[in-house]
Chains A and B, each alone.
Chain A
């Protein structure tokens, strides 16, 4: 924790001792004692003073290191560490980064054709890129904080899953339907929150996400409840299935069947869907409605004074964002072949929101890089199953303290009067008005 600016080894030691004492009290019962319910329901406990001691020692050592670093870098923070030459070099790199990344993404199935794990992981990353770009419309462009985005993802996934398993409809028929249904729910959520101010909007969207999840869990006759929907059909290439049967794609092309074909197909499918999201967003930003979103984010009162209908502006933002969430959900359902309410918890919403915020709110490239970083980072910690969310939470706190305006980028407004000002997430007013 931050201490008063002081120098000298004594003050550093004092801070470290105070921090270690606080840590000792905090961890004494929670770490030092481990409880577990026995076989007959009675609680037993045992002590873990070794772990407690090492944690307190880690806090002690950690605060010494942090204090030393703070005195070495000085109060102006980490900005000084980066020389201007490097910064301009980074700017130059940034201009070529997006095309380079796109070409790399197109080549991923070619390069890693035999590495199933990498292909699966890149499909996952692209799903989150698409979700991030979809949420970016709501949070980054219109400045409305949405904590329940995963609800639309769930609506899309369940729409496809139920239509496909009950009526046998094809993926390509269900995809627009899933998007439409999700957009409809977006408008439905949009109506009540139109008048909301500040953080209230965040909490209401969170409540809405939970309601959708609870309804899915409890409406067993329709959704299968906690057991989920199994046996969701795989996507076809406009009617041609990607399997080893006689009228499958491999047989028609006269090549040997391989299960990787389907993975590669899924990869290009989600890549195309994500790029569509990106393209639509970029185009929308040049239309009056996109300009209105950005104006709404900058100043809602001025927006109304200029005669912009804030109601329709907010509703379209919610609907557009929700529609892309629905598309991504339908894709998720067809890729997994099985969905259950467990995939649509609040943690997913927070993860997508974290991607948008870390990406710098409104920067399309930033969101893509943030998705890559977050999902890649999640994979690195997969071995530490239980510690993963702990690390995720800590990272969220630390990044907010260190760089609250996003790790990667900021975004200039699409139109400006005399000079472009860096617009950042500090202008997001979460639907002020």
Chain B
């Protein structure tokens, strides 16, 4: 039972990270109807920028950890968001009225560019950082010596995710930008006729998605203590699985799917085999698509002739 609780905590933390990435997939799919294949690599870029900002801040002698974290968060969100904007502008916008395969292939190409760009720029080796946030709480100690740990970093990941989700929900449901986004999702032509700047709204969607992915990258860096240039690929597919599981296009669904994938992966590693945890995650994608193609919270799509 204790082991179970510990895995539950670990799974929820991992699921929060996946959920943050999944929101980027689901938002872009909702608005432009394409799978942003490069989104996993945006997450990786976010992790790298956070790592480099950390290094600079420490080497100039900053010691207050809350200040460091805040600065790193803002810098990596800003720069990664600019990456998202640029990629949309270069690789997707010229193809918006092309056939459906074109943006998909362009996105695959962009994903290769980003992966190899960071390999060339930062080298192929894994980059570790020392643990910044240490300590934690012991929730329960069983007689046979097993200890349930809740570390500070885990608390921080979950709290940050909740706060970001609150801001994000407010943004989508209450602000002008959110209304524009929902309008574009329903009917781009009509939205344009009613004075919505469709191009700008789509750009903002990519910017917000990339910023959330940057937060996920920072969390990943703090939680696992390392980044490497190839981590975007697998994390990207898993986050996409999360988005599909939750019902693509649905924002709460993405978060729910992220948590589900995180839990499944953690429990699979804990009780079955660590080697096959990715196989488990990918199999879930296939199983979900066979038995409930609209996901947990998705709307069924009407087939039109």
Contact = CB atoms under 8 A, between A and B. Distances in A.
A42 B100 contact: no
Contacts of B52: 29-30, 33, 35, 45
A404 B127 contact: no
Contacts of A390: 112-113, 116-117, 120
A30 B35 contact: no
B136 interface: no
Nearest to B304: A301
Contacts, number: 192
Interface residues of B, number: 71
Interface in A22-79: 22, 25-26, 28-31, 33-37, 41-43, 45
A29 B116 contact: no
A428 B113 CA distance: 25
Interface of A: 1-2, 22, 25-26, 28-31, 33-37, 41-43, 45, 145, 192-193, 195-200, 202-204, 206-208, 210-211, 214-215, 218, 301, 346-347, 350, 353-354, 357, 386-387, 389-390, 392-397, 400-401, 404-405, 424-430, 433
A200 B243 CA distance: 12
Nearest to A202: B104
The majority secondary structure among interface residues of chain A is helix
B289 interface: yes
Given A36-B123, A203-B285, A430 B100 contact: yes
Nearest to A394: B113
Nearest to A145: B101
Contacts of A350: 108, 112
12 contacts: A30-B118, A31-B121, A34-B122, A41-B128, A192-B289, A192-B290, A198-B100, A211-B282, A387-B116, A400-B105, A429-B100, A430-B101
B86 A22 contact: yes
Given A35-B122, A204-B286, A397 B79 contact: no
Given A206-B237, A357-B105, A428-B101, A218 B275 contact: yes
Nearest to B108: A350
Contact of A396 (B108, B125, B237, B290): B108
A375 B176 CA distance: 50
Given A202-B35, A401-B95, A218 B118 contact: no
| Interface-central residue, A197, A203, A204, A387, by most chain B CB under 10 Å | A203
Nearest to B125: A37
